[in-house]
Amino acid sequence: MCGIVGIIGREQVAPLLVDALKRLEYRGYDSAGVATLNKGVLDRRRAEGKLVNLDNLLKEQPLSGTIGIGHTRWATHGAPTVRNAHPHTTPRLAVIHNGIIENFAELRSMLEKDGYVFETETDTETVAHLVTRALDRGLSPVEAVRQSLPELRGAFAIAIMFKGEEDLLIAARNGPPLAVGYGDGEMYLGSDAIALAPFTDTLSYLEDGDWAVLTRNSVAIYDESGMAVKRRIEKSAGTAFLVSKGNRRHFMEKEIHEQPEVISHTLANYLDFSKGTIRTDAVPVDFAKIDRIAASACGTAYYAGLIGKYWFEQIARLPVDIDVASEFRYREMPLSKDSLALFVSQSGETADTLASLRYCKQQGLKIGSVVNVKESTMARESDSIFPTLAGPEVGVASTKAFTCQLATLASLAVTAGKMRGTISADDERRLVHELSEIPRYATQALKLEQQMEAISRDLSQVKHALYLGRGTSFPLALEGALKLKEISYIHAEGYAAGELKHGPIALIDEHMPVIVIAPYDRWFEKTVSNMQEVAARGGKIILITDSRGAAASTLKTMHTVILPDMPEIITPIIYALPIQMLAYYTAVFMGTDVDQPRNLAKSVTVE
């Protein structure tokens, strides 16, 4: 989604703004722009497409000034054109915005009646004219913003710079995240800590309803009612993160290869490897007092939650209801106060998941979140955080965050089993040992890379693909299909293998590749029957299994991928790796933008 940066500094800010925007590229965008103020002149440059276009434009037509704002836009209202790109300006100010102004049509017609002329189709331009109208009525910039904010409905993070005010930036947040960065005689605004990492590691996160007035030497924050408030000043770990692909072609490739390491960091947070026990001190929830989990999440995080459901129910005998957050938040499900509301999110900012969290909070439930970004809104609004230690994930297609979510959920399920007395001390030791082996198996799985690349060459020739699995391999089939479609644009669907005969089998012919995820587990034989149904209709099978599975299946496959034999609990985590590599290399063969696929955003902060 859109990225915001603002700097009141001492140096020329235009290159710094572009640098900060590059660090926000991972969020997804389709146009970008910057504006600066210099000796009374407010000027801007905007470009469609990638930041390199804005960079080139700035080389041809540089912008001067030590105060400025910058923006990457992910189009919601109006096409991704230069005209609709931010910053939006009036003769008196420039504004950037992330989110949606829901009452923009109403505001626009009111402002047009007052004589304000709109140049774009964006909702953001209403903010520019609304505040300008207040200035035209004689209010100071601070008063103009104070009086305009209550008129805006929706989710927004905004930053405004005013002509004639070279030591003033005003920001507001109601929904999408916005951080204030503190420097020495310099102040910053950013959508996240990563954007500001080269400038400062000292940040305050605005809360919903907050607005902030920044000068080079001061920051004042006010809440919705206009009361001055203090927000915690934190040291961010974001500075440790350098946006670099290392020696890899894409962030996604790098992130796939980081998995053995980051999964082991994540597991170490929950498991005591030396004692062979779980670390109950890492889990601030008494699962023995919980009768149900109400979980929700979006996209890949939802599929991680679906796999978690199998583990919680089997290991801890704890029922889990799981929904996609965009449905959960509106379906008014009856919730028991003895339930734990559990949210899974890499970013911790996904609008639908956050809204579901807040809904559950209103209902009086205890809130737990599996999140990767510790400073995120979800992390801050949860009673308990179950961190994933995947590190910053830049590729839009989630890989390492997914497997770290799984590692966390598996560890939590074992913890819950221990607390609820559904597993013995021996079971605990065995399960902890099995989980501790994930990094080793993941390293072995990565050795399949060349084979996955070769299979991807074939897959890149097709228009459609099906993924099948049973048990925990079913949500993995859904994830495999999502991964393929989001980065290669090949149409793919995932199904529970047993559902094949209830409809999707009609799609099978000699042009349809079917990726079957089938470790030799308790579901294997049933899955083989479904594979037989595919083979009988000429479908091309790509079987992902282990040596026992390969030996047990006599069916002709187009490709068979053989993973090591491994304990059942870890199969969805390890089998995720060839699935990710398959999507990755297919996209590489297709020549798509792997890290920033079209139309997608890393952090989806609108409904």
The residue from 300, 473, 488, 605 that contacts ligand M6R (CB under 6 A) is 300
Q: How far is the CB of 408 from ligand M6R (least distance, A)?
A: 13
Query: Buried (b) or exposed (e) across 531-564, using 16+ Cβ within 10 A?
Result: beebbeeebbbbbbbbeebbeebeeebebbbbbe
Site membership for ligand M6R, residue 587 (CB under 6 A): no
The residue from 236, 266, 398, 557 that contacts ligand M6R (CB under 6 A) is 398
Nearer to ligand M6R, 495 or 584 (CB): 584
Q: Is 404 a catalytic residue?
A: no
Q: Which residue has the tokens 């034999």?
A: 565
Q: Which residue has the tokens 């304000």?
A: 116
- Rounded to whole angstroms, the Cα distance separating 390 from 372 reads 7
Bridge partners (DSSP) of residue 37 are 42, 67
Between β-strands 88-90 and 93-101, what pairing exists: parallel, antiparallel or unpaired? antiparallel
Site membership for ligand M6R, residue 298 (CB under 6 A): yes
- Rounded to whole angstroms, the Cα distance separating 44 from 36 reads 6
Nearer to ligand M6R, 300 or 411 (CB): 300
Nearer to ligand M6R, 181 or 299 (CB): 299
Nearest to 88 by CA among 164, 159, 194: 159
Write out the DSSP string of 125-163: HHHHHHHHHHHHTT--HHHHHHHHGGG--EEEEEEEEET
Q: How far is the CB of 298 from ligand M6R (least distance, A)?
A: 4
Nearest to 67 by CA among 98, 35, 90: 35
Q: How far is the CB of 47 from ligand M6R (least distance, A)?
A: 25
Bridge partners (DSSP) of residue 18 are none
The amino acid occupying position 297 is: A
DSSP 281: G
- Rounded to whole angstroms, the Cα distance separating 371 from 402 reads 11
Q: How far is the CB of 516 from ligand M6R (least distance, A)?
A: 22
Q: How many residues bind ligand M6R (CB under 6 A)?
A: 16
Q: How far is the CB of 372 from ligand M6R (least distance, A)?
A: 7
- Tell me: cis bond preceding 284? Omega within 30 of 0 counts: no
Nearer to ligand M6R, 125 or 486 (CB): 486
Q: Look up residue 330 and give its two tokens.
A: 């509106």
The amino acid occupying position 498 is: G
Site membership for ligand M6R, residue 396 (CB under 6 A): yes
Q: Which residue is nearest to ligand M6R (CB)?
A: 299
x/- mask, ligand M6R, residues 304-343, rule CB under 6 A, reads ----------------------------------------
Site membership for ligand M6R, residue 512 (CB under 6 A): no
The residue from 264, 339, 350, 388 that contacts ligand M6R (CB under 6 A) is 350
Site membership for ligand M6R, residue 98 (CB under 6 A): no
Q: Is 39 a catalytic residue?
A: no
Q: How far is the CB of 220 from ligand M6R (least distance, A)?
A: 31
Cα separation of the two ends of the chain = 11
- In the sheet where 559-563 sits, what is the strand order? 491-496, 464-469, 513-517, 540-546, 559-563
User: Which parts of 481-500 interact with ligand M6R (CB under 6 A)?
Assistant: 486
Site membership for ligand M6R, residue 346 (CB under 6 A): yes
Q: How far is the CB of 131 from ligand M6R (least distance, A)?
A: 31
Site membership for ligand M6R, residue 588 (CB under 6 A): no
Site membership for ligand M6R, residue 192 (CB under 6 A): no
The angle formed by the CA atoms of residues 71, 77 and 82, to the nearest 5 degrees, is 50
**Which residues have a catalytic role annotated?**
2, 602
Binding site for ligand M6R (CB under 6 A): 298-301, 345-347, 350, 353, 396-398, 486, 600, 603-604
